[in-house]
Amino acid sequence: MWTWFYRLASPPHVYRVAATLIPWFLTAAAFAIGYGAIAGLVFAPPDYQQGDAFRIIYVHAPSGWISMFAYSTMAVAGAIGLIWRIKMGHAVAAAVAPIGASFTVLALVTGSLWGRPMWGTYWAWDPRLTSELILLFLFAGVMSLRPAFEDSNRGDRAAALLSIVGVVNVPIIHYSVLWWNSLHQGATVAKLGKPSMPPSMLLPLLSMMLGFMCFFGAVLCMRLRGEVLNRERQATWVREAIKS
């Protein structure tokens, strides 16, 4: 039952599987983002309160979602590396960090551009915005901690510990709009009852989320291949791998 799990620990296997997945992820991302962007910008009706400014949601919500997903992935991968001493766990965590940081920046910038017409300001020390900014600092901390150690194993362990401790921020981001008085609007899609959007607005958003997810998968596989090569460059299988 655990065979698949142990195979994931094998660097050559990970290197090969990642290469196979990249074109699939990229193709799916191109279609989903293409449809989501066109449908969101052209065919979705303007919001009755926010007008056309609501279209920012099509890049803001998926990027915010990916930023949290990336951080959780990094923490889980770090925990796997730390607990089971699986090197690939640390490799995944290292590969995820810059991608997650870039999507966090995207979420903050697009949120800020949305805030100006809706709230009258580019920035407010609102719980959702502040916790998302803390997420960016956590990504930056994890990225700078890893190379700060001469011994790469110690760097991996320290980065994994920080990412595990920081994962407490993820539910805070998600529930901040419920726990505190917030300028930020509440959940629109992930509501237990029914999403507060009509299908003409919701479908492009779901498509963009799927597209961003696939794009994240593709870029993660690319970075992971580089990370595996960096860590395994003395191994014999690398000779065959870089020839092909």
Partner 1 sequence: MGGYARFVWPCFGFACTVLAWNLWSARRFHAAARQRAGRTLAMSDEN
| Cα–Cα distances in angstroms (integers) from residue 78 to residues 28, 96, 208, 239, in the given order | 28, 11, 28, 28
Rank residues 69 and 215 by Cβ distance to partner 1 and give the closer one. Answer: 215
What is the x/- site pattern for partner 1, positions 59-98, by CB under 8 A?
Answer: xx--x----------------------------------x
* CA gap 193, 147 in Å, rounded: 46
DSSP secondary structure string for all residues of 156-196: HHHHHHHHHHHTTHHHHHHHHHHHS--SS---SSS-SS--S
Q: Which is nearer to partner 1, 26 or 79 (CB)?
A: 26
Contact 209, 62 (CB under 8 A): yes
Nearer CB in complex with partner 1: 79/102:
102
What is the footprint of partner 1 within residues 208-227 (CB under 8 A)? Answer: 215, 219, 222-223, 225-227
- Rounded to a whole number of angstroms, the minimum distance from the CB of residue 2 to partner 1 is 29
Binding to partner 1 (CB under 8 A) within 135-194 occurs at none
Q: From the list 9, 17, 79, 109, which residue makes contact with partner 1 (rule: CB under 8 A)? A: 109
Which residue lies nearer to partner 1 by CB, 159 or 214? Answer: 214
Residues 36-55 interacting with partner 1 (rule: CB under 8 A)? 37, 41, 46, 51-53, 55
Nearest-angstrom CA–CA distance, 86 and 78: 9
Least gap, CB of 222 to partner 1 (angstroms): 4
Contact criterion met (CB below 8 Å) for 155 and 146: yes
CA distance 239 to 237: 5
Instruction: In whole angstroms, give the CA distance from residue 101 to residue 99.
Output: 5
Whole-angstrom distance, CA of residue 78 vs CA of residue 90? 5
Could you list the residues that contact partner 1 (CB under 8 A)? 33, 37, 41, 46, 51-53, 55-56, 58-60, 63, 98-99, 102-103, 105-106, 109-110, 113-114, 116-117, 215, 219, 222-223, 225-227, 229-230, 232-234, 238-239, 242
